Chains A and B, each alone.
Chain A
Amino acid sequence: MPEQSNDYRVVVFGAGGVGKSSLVLRFVKGTFRESYIPTIEDTYRQVITCNKNICTLQITDTTGSHQFPAMQRLSISKGHAFILVYSITSRQSLEELRPIWEVIREIKGTEEEFPIMLVGNKCDESDAREVQSAMGENQAKAWKCNFMETSAKTNHNVKELFQELLNMEKNRNMSLQLDGKKNKSQKGTRKIKEKCLLM
């Protein structure tokens, strides 16, 4: 179990093309597929409340690291919670999550409970659907994790996904809401953060 720090680290996994980055972008920036620079660390951060304190939600997008088991292992060992993303338009993308789930279990052990969400993204593309919701749900049950379908494109269930993930954490009490205010964009959060610092 990683040390209880001021950061809460969420790691996002999924095969190429399932929309991991879009999902993270949609959540962090509120936009879909805008020009994106990967090396600016702030892009991944979001301020949340944790045990009535301010804490940083850190999202590690593993895009591009699928060929490097080492990088995945590194992210897993430092992560607190995990999001496993597949595309509902590709059965293959769901199947490709299995080895990752196994690695997470192996590194994190089975004694400790840690939040995992299985996410079927691209649920706006219902015409091309290959994975039925029930199938995702069953898989989630087998893996003892929660399940949700999202669309980064239409912003369906994106914020809900992260909130649900935080709710699953039993060791801390966390929320995306800051002082009951909605946390709409990064600019907004920064303002709120400043206010909190003043207090």
Chain B
Amino acid sequence: MFLNSLSTYRIDSQSNSQDQEFIVACKRRVIHFVHRWVMTIKTPVFSSPAASQFLQTLQEEVAKDVEVYGVALRDEATLMLSVAEALERYERDRSTAGVSKWKLPTSGRPISLFGVTSTEEPTEPHRAIRAQDDSKGHGMPEVSLCHPLMSTSVIFRVYCADHTYCTLRFPLNTTSEVIKRSAADKLGLRQENLLLVELKSTGEVVPFREREICPPTALSLNGRLFISNKDHLDALMPLSEQEGPSEGTINQLEMYSTRELAYHITSHDWDLFSAIHEYEFLYHVFGRDHFGEVMCNLDVFLRRFNEIQYWVVTEMCLANALSKRSQLLRKFIKLAAYCKEQQNLNAFFAIVIGLSNVAISRLTQTWERLSSRFRKMYTEFEMLIDPSKNHRAYRMYVAKLHSPILPFTPLLMKDMTFTHEGNSTIIDGLVNFEKMHMLAETLRTIRYCRSRPLALEAPPVPKNENEIRAYVRNLQVIDNQRRLLTLSQRHEPKRP
């Protein structure tokens, strides 16, 4: 593209016969295009060496041309100057602020994403990426900030088949291959034939491709990183901690007001959602090994969906007494209602899908105890999550809402993946702009959802505020469907 623009710009050097007006018009078009492009995208252009090189070359040529063509290119020269200034500003910022990976306008204010001591309100995303610190899990990815001049790093464990492990710390953009080598080194394994894999709580093994970025944040809820010989993958057994809790937290939940719970869930989800850079969606859709860029904030947010969903199922399955269970069911339906009211549709879907999990929906005795009011509420919710006609019900509903919205993100991911897989990126050597427009359309939806800050009404009488805040950030779940079903069947055995 750079070459194309430059050669169009240098139209006068190729054919002297063109009349001046045509030449000037061409030059103008190139400058206007470049200006718009740069001003739309900003940081990613500036951070690419090839692009900034191109901008410098172009600017020099424009400066020369102003002398030749005079007034005709004066406005354009001003445009180029503003581009150059923006580039300069970016480079100055970078040299003072260290590695500023991304800047993202959320609610009008730019925020920097990783490891930067910026003056521009960086606290929220930090908390977001740190969210998993609380878990103090064994082998759970623990993301922490380090020296501002280095990018954020992630601390995690890699296990062997015998459940010995090593603890590693790497920058977020580390590839699976580097992690594999380093783990093999530390654990004293021979390098040949090794694979870095995720072992899910169900025992399912998912290998990582060598170029995939940041495997630790890509894991499923109770998944762990394992390193193993290619031929011995079948022998891998999950750790006992991967099973998840054996006792529910119903006693705590009973004490928390549902409204307060919803408030803290939504505030936390919003933090996670705000921390995602728009491009992370693209990185995710094109594949972890495609751009070599970090998408950890999106990983964390997508994980949150599953976390809430399995939390609901887990708590229901771990509530032993029938009366407690139906009480809890009522609480979750109420919680879904609050989330819907707060336009946290991501959590709303997660809760309702959790309740519609077969391990819960089969508990007929529990559902029978529900009053007709709650039953009606739940039926309405089910209609909203109905996937038919490609989630028509939800799309109609969300179209009427105003920002701020926490959208049902799996659907956005699905739309983008669909667009990506259904359309080629390059057709006959040209970029397929129609596809890019479609992807941009979804990104615009996301931008709209975040175009206004979250202004939730805090609960009138906050009780156990800190406790609830910590609770919603640290949900413990069982994510093995088989185990959930077994628990469910123990509560209400199948009728013969």
A-side residues, CB < 8 A to B, are 7, 9, 16-17, 21-22, 25, 33, 35-41, 43-45, 58, 60-61, 63-65, 67-71, 73-75, 77-78, 99, 103, 106-107
Contacts and interface: CB of A to CB of B under 8 A. Distances in A.
25 contacts: A16-B417, A16-B421, A22-B422, A25-B422, A35-B432, A35-B435, A36-B418, A38-B414, A38-B415, A38-B419, A41-B390, A63-B418, A63-B421, A63-B422, A64-B414, A65-B410, A68-B302, A69-B481, A71-B410, A74-B385, A77-B356, A78-B388, A103-B481, A106-B358, A106-B485
Contact of A35 (B285, B415, B423): B423
Nearest to A39: B415
Nearest to B410: A68
Contact of A58 (B389, B419, B424, B481): B389
B421 A64 contact: yes
Contacts of B389: 41, 44-45, 58
Given A38-B419, A74-B356, A74-B387, 12 more contacts: A25-B422, A33-B422, A39-B415, A40-B390, A41-B392, A44-B389, A64-B413, A65-B413, A71-B414, A73-B356, A77-B356, A107-B358
A77 B387 CA distance: 10
A70 B410 contact: yes
Interface string B389-418: 110100100000000000000110111111
Contact of A38 (B358, B386, B422, B485): B422
A43 B485 CA distance: 36
A183 B259 CA distance: 53
B305 A70 contact: yes
Nearest to A19: B421
Given A21-B421, A70-B350, A63 B388 contact: no
Contact of B418 (A61, A77, A78, A103): A61
B347 to A, nearest CB: 12
A9 B225 CA distance: 38
Nearest to B390: A41
A107 B361 CA distance: 10
A75 B438 contact: no
B306 A69 contact: yes
B233 to A, nearest CB: 12
A197 B417 CA distance: 37
Contacts of B111: none
A14 B385 CA distance: 22
B203 to A, nearest CB: 11
B415 A64 contact: yes
Contacts of A22: 422
A75 B391 CA distance: 10
A36 B422 CA distance: 6
Given A58-B388, A63-B414, A67-B302, A73 B422 contact: no
B341 interface: no
Interface centre among A35, A40, A43 (most CB of B within 10 A): A35
Contacts of A67: 302, 410, 413
Nearest to A64: B417
A17 B481 contact: no
B388 A70 contact: no
Which 10 A-B pairs rank lowest in CB-CB distance, beginning with the nearest? A64-B417, A64-B414, A38-B418, A36-B422, A41-B389, A68-B410, A70-B353, A21-B422, A41-B390, A38-B415
